A and B are shown apart, each in its own frame.
Chain A
Amino acid sequence: GNSVTQMEGPVTLSEEAFLTINCTYTATGYPSLFWYVQYPGEGLQLLLKATKADDKGSNKGFEATYRKETTSFHLEKGSVQVSDSAVYFCALGSSGGSYIPTFGRGTSLIVHP
C-alpha cells in the first residue's frame, strides 16, 4: 500500500539557516504529492503541491520537487524565519480511486532568533 516516511524531528535552526525536511514515499501509480503546515494551535493548511514527476511546487519561499526516480519530495527553504516554526506534513494523494490521502508523521521545525 501507499506510505510516506518523513525525517523525525524536531529540527532546530537559527534564523536565516537553510532548511531541508526529507520525505520519501511508496505508492502504486503516480499520485500527487503535498506538503501541509500546521502552526501552533491551528489545523493543517496546504503549503505546496506537485501533481507529476519533475514538477516543482513552491509557496512562501518553500520548494519541493517530485522526484520519481528517488521517490522523494523533500521540502527546502533557503532562509528560514522564526515565523516558520510549525509542524510540516508530507502527504501522498489518493490513488486507485480510494480518495484517501496518506500522511507522514510530521516534522516539527523550531527556528530560533
Chain B
Amino acid sequence: NAGVTQTPKFQVLKTGQSMTLQCAQDMNHEYMSWYRQDPGMGLRLIHYSVGAGITDQGEVPNGYNVSRSTTEDFPLRLLSAAPSQTSVYFCASSDRSSTNEKLFFGSGTQLSVL
C-alpha cells in the first residue's frame, strides 16, 4: 500500500519560474492538505480539500494554487516562485468519515528558489 506519494523529492527553481508539486493518495481519503515546514515555524497549512471539487485556504495560501479534480490527487502549483517559498512541503490525507482523524503524510518535497 503506497499511502501518500509526493513528487519530486527535491527541486531547485529560479525566481519567477512555475512548477507543480504532485500529491497522490491511494486510501480513498476525502481530506487532503498541503503544509510547509520552515525552521522555528513548525508546520503551516497552505491549502486543504475536504473532497473532490472542494478546496479552501489555510494559514499561508498566498502564492499557491490548488485544485482537486479527483479524490486521489491534490497538486500544489507555484505560479511565480519567490525565494520566500524555499521550504519543505508536505502533503497529508485523512479519512474524515472516521473518528480517528489520523493524518498520513508524504515524505516531502524540498524546494529551493534562487
- Determine the distance from Cα of A106 to Cα of B95 in the docked complex, in whole angstroms: 24
What mask results when residues 29 to 69 of chain A are scored 1 for a CB within 8 Å of chain B, else 0? 00010101000011111100101000000000000000000
Q: What total count of A-B pairs have CB within 8 Å?
A: 47
Contacts of B4 in A (CB 8 A): 43
- The distance in angstroms between the C-alpha atoms of A100 and B33, with both chains bound, is 9
Closest to A43 in B: B105
Which residues 56-111 of B sit at the A interface, judged by CB distance below 8 A? 58, 90, 92, 96, 99, 101-103, 105-108
Is B48 part of the contact surface with A, judged by Cβ < 8 Å?
yes
Are the CB atoms of A104 and B42 closer together than 8 Å?
Answer: yes
Whether, in the assembled complex, B113 has its beta carbon less than 8 Å from a beta carbon of chain A, the answer is no
Please state if A100 and B101 are interface contacts (CB–CB under 8 Å).
no
- CB pair B45–A100 under 8 Å, yes or no, is yes
Interface residue? B31 (CB, 8 A):
yes
Q: Is B40 part of the contact surface with A, judged by Cβ < 8 Å? A: yes
Measured CB to CB, the closest approach of chain B to A8, in angstroms, equals: 9
> Quick one: which of B99, B101, B102, B107 contacts A42, CB cutoff 8 A?
B107
Interface size range of chain A in the complex: 20 to 34
Flag whether B50 is at the interface (Cβ < 8 A): yes
Chain B contact patch, size range:
20 to 34
B residues 15-49 with Cβ under 8 Å of A? 31, 33, 40-43, 45, 48
A2 interfacial contact with B, CB 8 Å? no
In the complex, are the beta carbons of A43 and B41 less than 8 A apart? no
A49 shortest CB reach to chain B, Å = 7
Task: Write out the residue numbers on chain A whose beta carbons fall within 8 Å of the beta carbon of B101.
Answer: 32, 34, 93-94, 101
Give the complex CA separation of A110 and B5 in angstroms: 28
- Closest B residue to A49 by beta carbon equals B102
A105 to B96, CA, bound (A): 24
Complex Cα distance, B102 from A44, in Å, reads 11
CA distance A42 to B108 in the complex (A): 7
> A44-B90, A99-B96 provided; 4 other pairs, C-beta below 8 A?
A42-B107, A45-B105, A105-B40, A106-B43
Interface residues of B (CB under 8 A from A): 4, 31, 33, 40-43, 45, 48, 50, 58, 90, 92, 96, 99, 101-103, 105-108
